[in-house]
Structure formats: C-alpha cells, structure tokens
Amino acid sequence: MGKSDLPSATDAPDRVRTITDLARIAGVSPGTVSRALSGNSLVNARTREKIEAIAREHGFRPNQMASKLRRQKTGVIGVAIPLGHDVRQQISDTFFMTLLGYLADELTEKGYDLMLRRVIPAQDEDWLDRFIGSGMIDGVIVIGQSDQFERIENVADGYLPMVVWGNHQEGQRHCVVGTDNRLGGKLAAERLIAAGAGSLAFLGDTQPVEFAARFAGAREVAERMGVPIQALPTHLSVDRMTLEVAEHLEAILGECDGIFAATDTMAVACLKELRERSIPVPASMRIVGFDDLPISSHTVPPLTTVRQDIAAGAKGIVDLLLRRLEGDDTESLVLPPHLIARATA
C-alpha cells in the first residue's frame, strides 16, 4: 500500500518499455524524453540528467523500428553476395569472407549496422530490387558481380546508394571498387614468362567478369611475347575444384610449364596435386596465384601471387557508399594490384 499509484496490473508493474512509460515516471511528456535521449535538441540540463538517470536505472532502450519508421532511415547497410556462377560455392570463399570482415569493421566504425544476404540469382529474379525496396536498408554493397552485371547496371540507373566490389569496365554505370584485374593478369603472365615458362595455362572459370579480365590481361602479355596460353575452366567450390584441377593437370603436363591460377585457393590445390605427382615447382612448373590470402605465404614452396589489398578495398567501398548516401554521384575506384614474388615463379 502506498507503493504503487496504479491499480496493480497483472503483468510486470514498473517495466519501462516505451518512451511514454519513461515520461510518466519522469513527469514529463514523451516528446521531451525523446529529445533528452537523442541528445541533439534543446532540453534543460537538469531535466535531461533526470531522464537519463531513470533510463539507465530501468535499462530502457528506445524501439528502433519505431524510430526508423518515423525518421525514414534505418542505419543499416545491406551486403549482398550473389552466388551466380557457382551455386554450390556457399558464402565460404575465403577472399569474400575476409572482405566481409573488413566491411563489418568499417561500417561499425561509421555507426552503421550490416545486414547480410546471400543470393542465388538463378532462383530469384529480382533479388536486388527486393533487397533495396525492402525498406530495411539505407544503402547496399554488392560483393562480386558474378554474372549479374546487367541487372546491376539497370538498378544503378535509379538507385544511388549502391557500391559494388568487382571489375571496372569502360563506360559502365554502376560505381565499383576493385582491383585492376587486367593489370593483375599482366603481372602474373609477365612473371611466369620471366621465370622461364614457355606455354601458359589459366586455371579458372572465365565467365565472371573479374576472372575474364584477369585472363584477358594474361593473354595480352602472352600474345605479345609469342607464348601460347589456354583457359582451363574450373569451379570454385572446394569439392569440385580438387578433382577438376587434377584432371586439368593430367591434360596439360608436358605441354604447359606455367600456370596462372585465378585464385590462391586454386593455386594451393594445384600445388598439392603437383607435389603428389612429384613435379618440382618452380623447376618444371611455375605457378602464380591471385589474392594473396594469409595462407599463401605458408605453402611449400611459398606462393608467388598477385596481391589485392582487401583492407583498402573495404575502406574504399564504405567511403564511397557514405558519400553516395549524401547524394554524391561518385566515380569508381580501381586499386592497383601488386606482384608478391615468392618461390613458385
């Protein structure tokens, strides 16, 4: 008696869930509470302190959904990973995962949350429109163009806050951040040839634009130097890759003596197969990879590879996206690859 000024309700009596509950306790209006907690508007210092104290005491958290609905922005950036050219790939590709990690770091730092969505375009026509139109995100980052270049282009015309990780093509309309894959391909081929290779093979699927550009760069150099080069289509998913790499090797042994792997993961698989066949690297077969994953320096022999600066890429993506959220129609960002010379070529 005398403890509560309300007829005892059946549910928790003094649970502070809404800003209105808090307002009642503090003896002010909900509006004032909102202003006090949001911090920016004018509120008497004493009132604010009192409200903050009560909020702290009751562990009050304003409902984000209501806030976002009212403010018409969510503070969430969507990250989509299209699994186009190889459905079984899962989201487990090391490179993409590492990029995702860095993106999470950058976005967190800028006060944004990250909503991750894995997409299988073949099963879901308008994945990108759906994601954007869901009203849950302020902007979107697409990791990898996969085989969705056209769809992304179409969306880009009407939707500013989107940045894509991938390959830059002359005259494209969407904002992209990525390594200069063509240049990377050139570096790889030059290195292989300089190391004594007389006939090259490109290990990887040439459908995705990123890989196509790597191959194109390598081919340009090879042709200029009068060295033959062939493409060996290979899937990215671990289970298929191992077998396919083995088959490819059987086919080219004795013919090629330099391999440019589209990915370090493939290069590693390749190294293992060569070792099992007792083919010395780089004496009989030279190898250059792409990515420079953490493992790549730990292989035997250590892998020569083309490095992509993942951290810089993530930073670039987030910076551009934030500027686009402000309405700025930013240019694409192309990062230079670097040849990391180790022992395989």
The residue written with tokens 């910076």 in the block is 319
Whole-angstrom Cα distance, residue 83 to residue 253?
A: 32
Nearer to a copy of itself by Cβ, of 38 and 108: the residue is 108
Please give the DSSP secondary-structure letter assigned to residue 308.
Answer: -
Helix axes 19-26, 30-38, angle to 10 degrees: 100
Q: According to the binding rule CB under 8 A, does residue 12 interact with a copy of itself? A: no
Q: According to the binding rule CB under 7 A, does residue 37 interact with DNA? A: yes
Other beta carbons within 10 Å of 345: 27
181: tokens are 């894959």
Q: Decide: 266 and 238 in contact? Cβ < 8 Å.
A: no
Which parts of 31-50 interact with a copy of itself (CB under 8 A)?
none
Q: According to the binding rule CB under 8 A, does residue 246 interact with a copy of itself? A: no
User: Which of 2, 6, 39, 70 forms a contact with DNA (CB under 7 A)?
Assistant: 70
Binding site partner of 225, from a copy of itself, DNA, none, Cβ cut-off 5-8 A by kind: none
Q: According to the binding rule CB under 8 A, does residue 280 interact with a copy of itself? A: no
- Convert 68-120 into a string of H (helix), E (strand) and C (coil): HHHHCCCCEEEEEEECCCCHHHCCCCHHHHHHHHHHHHHHHHCCCEEEEEEEC
Q: According to the binding rule CB under 7 A, does residue 6 interact with DNA? A: no
Q: According to the binding rule CB under 8 A, does residue 59 interact with a copy of itself? A: yes
Q: According to the binding rule CB under 8 A, does residue 130 interact with a copy of itself? A: yes
Nearer to DNA by Cβ, of 31 and 280: the residue is 31
Whole-angstrom Cα distance, residue 257 to residue 341?
A: 18
Please give the DSSP secondary-structure letter assigned to residue 256.
Answer: B
Residues making contact with DNA (CB under 7 A) = 17-20, 27-32, 34-35, 37-38, 41-47, 62-63, 66-67, 69-72
By the criterion CB under 8 A, which residues form the site for a copy of itself? 59, 61-66, 68-69, 74, 76, 90-92, 94, 97-98, 100-102, 104-105, 108, 113-118, 129-130, 133-136, 238, 265, 268-269, 271-272, 275, 294-295, 297-300
